[in-house]
């Protein structure tokens, strides 16, 4: 029986641990533990000298196991495992005892915290005592990446991955690429025409030999694991052959059915057969079967009658494609809080109260009013426009607690562009703060305030109501301590941004989480903003949280870099903390087989259970199920846990 020679290293973490835990007392207590042959402490174990201390001890004292009592293993387990491996010790014989997040950071009483830190460290010594050397499995992977979402973040991610030589499948639920950026008139702070800077990217994506674009498509099911995900994609029928459609628009003229236009945010209508906007990619019309009079049986077919190229095909049907990908990037984007959720601001019922994206469409030269700022109710040019910031944001009592980040900037942009469009018009902005942190943003705000004579009033709008043909806005100016009442022609609400409603279905299929507010959850808010907690799944863009275009693009590139790091590896490493079956005591009951969520277990030819290590994720559900104890988790066996429990509770 090889001798147990465990080294314990206690970190002070500066004062993070040492302020509350008496690290010297921990060192002394651990010296008494059988099998522990060296105990040391240091200010910052994760630093080079700290790691060197561990490496030296491994070599000089021929350690068979290491416990580093410090922060969470989520922080530095890889650090110490790597250091140990370089020093010649199997990395799976290294454990971390969390005496920071689980102890010094959450307790005040120094005596109690020290006693607990000793218990925690002793418990992990017990675990290491039972650990076996393990070797990570090397698995193959396909050379393909999936991007979910064809907005600016998703397109950037797709382009970056494709440029490095890997295949990309880009899935977009709308009939066209572009996302919300395609709906914007101009972008702050440069006032670039949004579609002018976006459409070249859309074209690049559609032309790239390594990118396969699937629009009007949705993710149905995802199975597998990092490096080998199998994705079922439903491609919905557009009933129009994009190779034949020449955008003549005759079908649209002939179609008798109209519905509110999603692209124009309901300000105008579109036909059942439509193209969302002229620069849509794919460059083709789409027949919305829900708006159409009926396809099965065919009730109308006026569009097909006038279609010269014969592009319309009523026999198209949904297709399910099954694709294997190594990595997935989720860029599902945002949606605005609907006006119906804001009863204090009219609840969507008061005419001439619109939201940010609707105002973009009014501003847009290709929009429903040709760029003229006309009131939706009577089409008159608006001479007095009130802009209400923070509509539904920063309001935990009634709506969303968060700041939607971009509204201060786009409201200033809106007011500025309005003043250019209607030089004799008045613009009033009700704000709480003005947040303008990006490059050139503050200067843009100053320009709006000083050069464009936009009236900025610091105060929240309490409510608004219709009075005749005006909208009366009740606000306040906190700097002069006055209640303000404005009779506006048009009110633009900078409504709160939320994760797009389609996010939930995607996250469920991928088994990644959203935070409490509904946005895609990143692995670490500071250090891992574009990774999810699931290996191989990355996040980017406004779906992860409200952000402007440069940030969305940057995240797209960031997520792409993470995916490429995976794709570029020869083989992927699969953690070896998986299930092992002791065939000599397995009774072949087979209950574990049905318990495994990954289908990793089966009964083999000899009638005993067998684990496919590549599919095993190490959850241990089968171990808890097994009546004989034949199924055990490597390095977290029932035996180890029993010893750990005993030591954790032993008299202090």
Partner 1 sequence: MHYPANVIPIRVNCSGRVDAGMVLKALEKGADGVLIGGCHPGDCHYVNGNYKTRRRVTLLRRALCEVGVDPRRVRLEWISASEGARFAHTIEAFTDEIRTLGRSPVAALTGGGDE
Which of these ranges, 152-160, 410-418, 536-544, 611-619, lies near partner 1 under the rule CB under 8 A?
611-619
521 makes contact with partner 1 (CB under 8 A) = yes
Output helix, strand, coil percentages for the chain, rounded to the nearest 5: 30, 25, 45
Which of these ranges, 131-139, 269-277, 410-418, 515-523, lies near partner 1 under the rule CB under 8 A?
515-523
Of 103, 307, 363, 492, the one binding partner 1 (CB under 8 A) is 103
> Vertex 130, ends 128 and 135: CA angle to 5°?
80
C-beta closer to partner 1: residue 131 or 355: 131
Contact 148, 179 (CB under 8 A): no
Phi, psi of 459 (to 5 degrees): 175, 150
Site for partner 1 (CB under 8 A): how many residues?
48
642 makes contact with partner 1 (CB under 8 A) = yes
Over the window 55 to 84, marking each residue x when it contacts partner 1 by CB under 8 A and - when it does not, the resulting string is ------------------x-----------
Contact 174, 357 (CB under 8 A): no
593 makes contact with partner 1 (CB under 8 A) = no
Q: Write out the binding residues for partner 1, residues 409-428 only, by CB under 8 A.
A: none
504 makes contact with partner 1 (CB under 8 A) = no
Which of these ranges, 28-36, 157-165, 200-208, 641-649, lies near partner 1 under the rule CB under 8 A?
641-649
C-beta closer to partner 1: residue 584 or 652: 652
Which of these ranges, 4-12, 30-38, 231-239, 638-646, lies near partner 1 under the rule CB under 8 A?
638-646
* Gyration radius of the chain over CA positions: 31
CA–CA distance, 17 with 51 (Å, rounded to integer): 18
Which of these ranges, 118-126, 129-137, 156-164, 255-263, lies near partner 1 under the rule CB under 8 A?
118-126
- Nearest Cα residue to 543 out of 329, 248, 291, 292: 329
108 makes contact with partner 1 (CB under 8 A) = yes
Contact 496, 399 (CB under 8 A): yes
582 makes contact with partner 1 (CB under 8 A) = no
C-beta closer to partner 1: residue 113 or 342: 113
164 makes contact with partner 1 (CB under 8 A) = no
Collapsing DSSP to helix, strand or coil, 289 comes out as: coil
Residue in the structure block whose two tokens are 């708006």: 291
Collapsing DSSP to helix, strand or coil, 599 comes out as: coil
> Vertex 428, ends 423 and 429: CA angle to 5°?
130
Of 112, 196, 479, 487, the one binding partner 1 (CB under 8 A) is 112
Of 171, 180, 618, 630, the one binding partner 1 (CB under 8 A) is 618
Of 123, 261, 336, 400, the one binding partner 1 (CB under 8 A) is 123
513 makes contact with partner 1 (CB under 8 A) = yes
Which of these ranges, 85-93, 109-117, 249-257, 443-451, lies near partner 1 under the rule CB under 8 A?
109-117
**Cβ partners under 8 Å of residue 297, min gap 6:** none
Phi, psi of 357 (to 5 degrees): -70, -30
Q: Read off the tokens for 597.
A: 């969520």
316 makes contact with partner 1 (CB under 8 A) = no
Of 12, 76, 116, 419, the one binding partner 1 (CB under 8 A) is 116
641 makes contact with partner 1 (CB under 8 A) = yes
- Nearest Cα residue to 274 out of 264, 282, 285, 283: 285
CA–CA distance, 584 with 35 (Å, rounded to integer): 30
Is the Cα torsion angle 341, 544, 553, 323 positive or negative in sign? negative
DSSP 382: P
505 makes contact with partner 1 (CB under 8 A) = no
C-beta closer to partner 1: residue 231 or 644: 644
Q: Read off the tokens for 558.
A: 């960031």
Strand runs labelled E in 149-196: 167-171, 186-187, 192-193
Of 75, 533, 535, 561, the one binding partner 1 (CB under 8 A) is 533
Residue in the structure block whose two tokens are 């000083």: 450
597 makes contact with partner 1 (CB under 8 A) = yes
Q: Write out the binding residues for partner 1, residues 259-298 only, by CB under 8 A.
A: none
Rounded to a whole number of angstroms, the minimum distance from the CB of residue 652 to partner 1 is 5
Q: Read off the tokens for 31.
A: 């010296």
Which of these ranges, 224-232, 236-244, 302-310, 594-602, lies near partner 1 under the rule CB under 8 A?
594-602
Contact 130, 644 (CB under 8 A): no
DSSP 531: B
Rounded to a whole number of angstroms, the minimum distance from the CB of residue 53 to partner 1 is 24
Contact 281, 248 (CB under 8 A): no
- Nearest Cα residue to 334 out of 527, 495, 528, 170: 495
636 makes contact with partner 1 (CB under 8 A) = yes
Rounded to a whole number of angstroms, the minimum distance from the CB of residue 78 to partner 1 is 16
> Vertex 578, ends 566 and 570: CA angle to 5°?
25
C-beta closer to partner 1: residue 214 or 514: 514
Binding positions for partner 1, rule: CB under 8 A: 73, 98, 102-103, 105-109, 112-113, 115-116, 119-120, 123, 508, 511, 513, 515-516, 521, 533, 577, 595, 597-598, 617-621, 623-625, 633, 636, 638, 641-642, 644-646, 648-652
């Amino acid at each position: 029986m090889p001798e147990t020679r465990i080294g314990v290293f206690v970190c002070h973490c500066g004062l993070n641990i040492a302020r509350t835990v008496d690290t010297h007392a921990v060192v002394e207590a651990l010296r008494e533990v059988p099998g522990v042959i060296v105990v040391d402490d240091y200010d910052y174990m994760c630093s080079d000298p700290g790691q060197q201390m561990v490496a030296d001890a491994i070599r000089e004292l021929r350690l068979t196991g290491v416990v580093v009592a410090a922060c969470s293993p989520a922080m530095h387990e890889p650090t110490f495992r790597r250091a140990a491996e370089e020093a010649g010790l199997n990395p799976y014989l290294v454990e971390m005892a969390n005496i920071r997040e689980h102890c010094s950071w959450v307790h005040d009483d120094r005596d109690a915290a020290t006693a607990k830190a000793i218990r925690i460290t002793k418990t992990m010594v017990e675990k290491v005592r039972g650990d076996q050397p393990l070797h990570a499995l090397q698995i193959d992977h396909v050379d393909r990446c999936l991007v979910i979402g064809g907005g600016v973040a998703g397109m950037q991610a797709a382009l970056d991955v494709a440029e490095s030589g890997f295949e990309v499948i880009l899935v977009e639920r709308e009939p066209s690429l572009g996302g919300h950026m395609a709906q914007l008139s101009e972008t702050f702070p440069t006032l670039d025409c949004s579609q002018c800077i976006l459409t070249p990217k859309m074209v690049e994506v559609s032309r790239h030999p390594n990118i396969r674009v699937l629009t009007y498509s949705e993710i149905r099911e995802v199975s597998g694991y990092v490096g080998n995900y199998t994705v079922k994609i439903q491609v919905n029928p557009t009933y129009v052959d994009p190779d034949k459609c020449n955008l003549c628009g005759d079908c649209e003229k002939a179609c008798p059915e109209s519905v509110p236009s999603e692209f124009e945010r309901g300000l105008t209508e579109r036909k059942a057969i439509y193209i969302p906007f002229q620069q849509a990619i794919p460059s083709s019309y789409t027949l919305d079967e829900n708006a159409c009079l009926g396809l099965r049986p065919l009730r109308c077919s006026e569009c097909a009658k006038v279609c010269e190229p014969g592009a319309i095909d009523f026999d198209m049907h949904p297709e399910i494609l099954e694709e294997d990908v190594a990595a997935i990037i989720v860029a599902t984007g945002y949606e605005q809080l609907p006006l119906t959720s804001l009863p204090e601001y009219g609840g969507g019922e008061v005419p001439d109260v619109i939201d940010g994206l609707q105002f973009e469409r009014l501003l847009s030269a290709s929009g429903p009013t040709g760029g003229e700022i006309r009131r939706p109710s009577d089409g008159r040019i608006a001479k007095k426009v009130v802009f209400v910031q923070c509509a539904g944001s920063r309001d935990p009592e009634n709506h969303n607690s968060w700041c939607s980040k971009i509204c201060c900037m786009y409201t200033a942009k809106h007011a500025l562009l309005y003043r250019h469009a209607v030089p004799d018009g008045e613009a009033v902005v009700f704000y709480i703060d003005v947040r303008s942190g990006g490059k050139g943003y503050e200067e843009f705000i100053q320009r709006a305030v000083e050069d464009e004579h936009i009236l900025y009033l610091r105060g929240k709008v309490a409510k608004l109501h219709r009075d005749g043909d005006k909208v009366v806005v009740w606000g306040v100016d906190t700097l002069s301590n006055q209640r303000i009442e404005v009779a506006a022609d048009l009110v633009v609400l900078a409504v709160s941004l939320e994760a797009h409603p389609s996010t939930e279905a995607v996250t469920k299929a991928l088994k990644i989480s959203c935070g409490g507010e509904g946005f895609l959850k990143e692995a670490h808010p500071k250090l891992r903003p574009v990774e999810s907690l699931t290996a191989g799944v990355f996040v980017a863009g406004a779906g992860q949280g409200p952000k402007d275009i440069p940030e969305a693009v940057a995240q797209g590139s960031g997520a792409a870099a993470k995916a490429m790091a995976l794709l570029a590896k020869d083989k992927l490493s699969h953690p070896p903390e998986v299930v092992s079956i002791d065939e000599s005591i397995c009774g072949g009951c087979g209950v574990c087989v049905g318990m495994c969520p990954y289908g990793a277990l089966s009964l083999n030819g000899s009638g005993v259970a067998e684990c496919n290590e590549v599919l095993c994720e190490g959850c241990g559900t089968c171990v808890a199920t097994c009546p004989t104890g034949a199924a055990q988790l490597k390095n977290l066996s029932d035996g180890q846990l029993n010893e750990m429990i005993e030591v954790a509770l032993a008299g202090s």
